[in-house]
Chains A and B, each alone.
Chain A
Amino acid sequence: MRTPILLVGLLALAPAARLAAQTDYYLRAGATGWGTLVHDFIAADVDTKASIGPLVAVGLGHSIAPRYRAGVELTLSSSALRTEYGSVTTDLGSARTGSALAFLDGGVSGGLRWQAGLGFLHYFAGAAGGLLEESATRLLVGGGLDYRRPLLAAWDLTVAARYDFHRFNTPALKAHGFSGGQGVQRVSLAIGLARGHR
């Protein structure tokens, strides 16, 4: 637990260090792929998965040192939920999420930057009787790489590859006797425009 706490502290303190720093912002759209949301066993394996789904992300970054930036990224995503067991696939509606991630990023080389962050992933309430009958909010940890190159006078092309994970559980699962949380890994790829200092 120490490292995430250190990361949070760093992110909280960093913006104050350079109030006069420059700011940039971006908007991206892309797709998210999910690992298994719930692995269960009822006579045989039962896996609940989310399909690859669209995402939009907006972010704001603030320079805090020559090589480092701190910021916040907000994303929305939607994916179809299904459960598979044996040869059966059932439709569980959709998983709609919103996330807020406080991040720190730094230059790698050229237009390439790394990013790491900590925040929250919120599952919006879905269909009655489903896994997501009620909303749920989980701690989210993520990171990735951003590539940026000039496109127009004031706008850059930006491409981001992200990896994040959280531990999934919902009130409906708890009511069924599930405990702990399923480690869920997600990857996403998004493309968009960024504006601000280069």
Chain B
Amino acid sequence: MSRRLAAAALALLCAGCSDIGSPSRADIYEWRSAQGGDTLSFHWPQSFLPVRIWAEDQHGLPAYADSSIAAWKPAFLYHEWDAVRVADSSEADVIVRYGSPPAGDDILLERFALDGRAPECQATTLPHVDDAREVHLPMHVYITARFAPDLPATQACLALTLTHEIGHTLGIFAHSSHPEDIMYGDPMVPKPSERDRNTAEVLYHTPANVSPAPRP
């Protein structure tokens, strides 16, 4: 019997050595921003987490900010990114306002919902990157409806577009070429796709050359 037990222990020891089968994360898109021959790659360091997001109480933006955070969180199996909504804009790392961006801002990323058939809303994310490759905080996101903001179609546009912009703020500084991704230039889907999630996760495991400036 002791021989059998020894054999069983040995067999189980060997079985215990093998690794779990990891998913393939090969299906991703370019997330870095190419600016005048320079490539900018950004993600939030662990010391900044959770990222603090404030949303202006206009046309349901706070609820859409919550749903945007909830939509992106599952991408980060290992808690590489996290965010919370805060009640005071003076404590925020990301400020979401209803309206158009003020003129003269250094616009690094811009998305306009130019789909002629459904031009319900538009938004802009402004991560101001200085020469020292630091992102000034807070980042600003401006989102606005093109027509009546309380129409169901406009509300749906605000919700998915804010999820798209939160994707920019977490470090996806480019657009997907796939319409089924939330980070497509003119997003049409309500939440991040598997490719969006893969891209977000991979970018947090890739060295960044832009970091957030110290919190004010």
Contacts from A to B (Cβ < 8 Å): 3-4, 6-7, 35, 38-44, 46, 48, 83, 85-86, 88-92, 116, 129-131, 141, 143, 165, 167-169, 172-173, 176-185
Q: Which of B88-131 contact A (CB under 8 A)?
A: none
Are the C-beta atoms of A182 and B78 separated by less than 8 Å? no
Are the C-beta atoms of B78 and A90 separated by less than 8 Å? yes
B162 to chain A, nearest CB (A): 20
Residues of A with C-beta under 8 A to B21:
178-180
Q: How far is the CA of A181 from the CA of B15 in the complex (A)?
A: 10
**At the interface, yes or no: B7 with Cβ under 8 Å from chain A?**
yes
Q: Given the known A-B contacts A48-B78, A85-B205, A88-B46, are A116 and B9 also in contact in the complex, defined by CB atoms under 8 Å?
A: yes
Q: Looking at the complex, which of B22-30, B147-155, B166-174 is the stretch in contact with chain A?
A: B22-30
**At the interface, yes or no: B132 with Cβ under 8 Å from chain A?**
no
B195 to chain A, nearest CB (A): 12
Q: How far is the CA of A170 from the CA of B118 in the complex (A)?
A: 41
**At the interface, yes or no: B215 with Cβ under 8 Å from chain A?**
no
Other-chain residue from B7, B79, B205 in contact with A43 (beta carbon distance below 8 A): B205
Known: A38-B20, A143-B9, A179-B21. 10 other contacts (CB 8 A): A40-B20, A40-B22, A44-B205, A88-B80, A89-B46, A90-B46, A116-B9, A173-B77, A183-B17, A184-B16
B123 to chain A, nearest CB (A): 26
**At the interface, yes or no: B73 with Cβ under 8 Å from chain A?**
yes
Q: How far is the CA of A85 from the CA of B78 in the complex (A)?
A: 10
**At the interface, yes or no: B206 with Cβ under 8 Å from chain A?**
yes
B79, closest chain A residue (CB): A90
Q: What are 12 sample pairs from A and B whose C-beta atoms fall under 8 A apart?
A: A39-B20, A43-B202, A46-B205, A83-B79, A92-B79, A116-B5, A129-B73, A129-B74, A167-B15, A178-B22, A182-B18, A183-B15
Residues of B with C-beta under 8 A to A165:
12-13, 15-16
Residues of B with C-beta under 8 A to A90:
46, 78-80
Residues of B with C-beta under 8 A to A4:
8, 12
Q: How far is the CA of A88 from the CA of B76 in the complex (A)?
A: 14
A93 to chain B, nearest CB (A): 9
Q: How far is the CA of A168 from the CA of B15 in the complex (A)?
A: 12
**At the interface, yes or no: B19 with Cβ under 8 Å from chain A?**
yes
9 A-B pairs with the lowest CB-CB distances in the bound complex, closest first: A177-B23, A179-B21, A183-B16, A3-B8, A165-B16, A182-B20, A83-B78, A42-B205, A43-B205
A176 to chain B, nearest CB (A): 5
A45, closest chain B residue (CB): B205
Other-chain residue from B16, B17, B24, B205 in contact with A177 (beta carbon distance below 8 A): B24
B6 to chain A, nearest CB (A): 10
Q: How far is the CA of A124 from the CA of B16 in the complex (A)?
A: 22
Other-chain residue from B11, B18, B77 in contact with A183 (beta carbon distance below 8 A): B18
Residues of B with C-beta under 8 A to A141:
8, 12
A184, closest chain B residue (CB): B16
B65 to chain A, nearest CB (A): 17
Residues of B with C-beta under 8 A to A177:
22-24
Residues of B with C-beta under 8 A to A183:
15-19
Q: How far is the CA of A138 from the CA of B11 in the complex (A)?
A: 17
Q: How far is the CA of A131 from the CA of B7 in the complex (A)?
A: 33
Q: How far is the CA of A168 from the CA of B21 in the complex (A)?
A: 11
Are the C-beta atoms of B11 and A3 separated by less than 8 Å? yes
Q: How far is the CA of A126 from the CA of B16 in the complex (A)?
A: 24
Other-chain residue from A35, A129, A168, A176 in contact with B23 (beta carbon distance below 8 A): A176
**At the interface, yes or no: B196 with Cβ under 8 Å from chain A?**
no
Are the C-beta atoms of B8 and A178 separated by less than 8 Å? no
B165 to chain A, nearest CB (A): 21
B84 to chain A, nearest CB (A): 12
Q: How far is the CA of A132 from the CA of B4 in the complex (A)?
A: 35
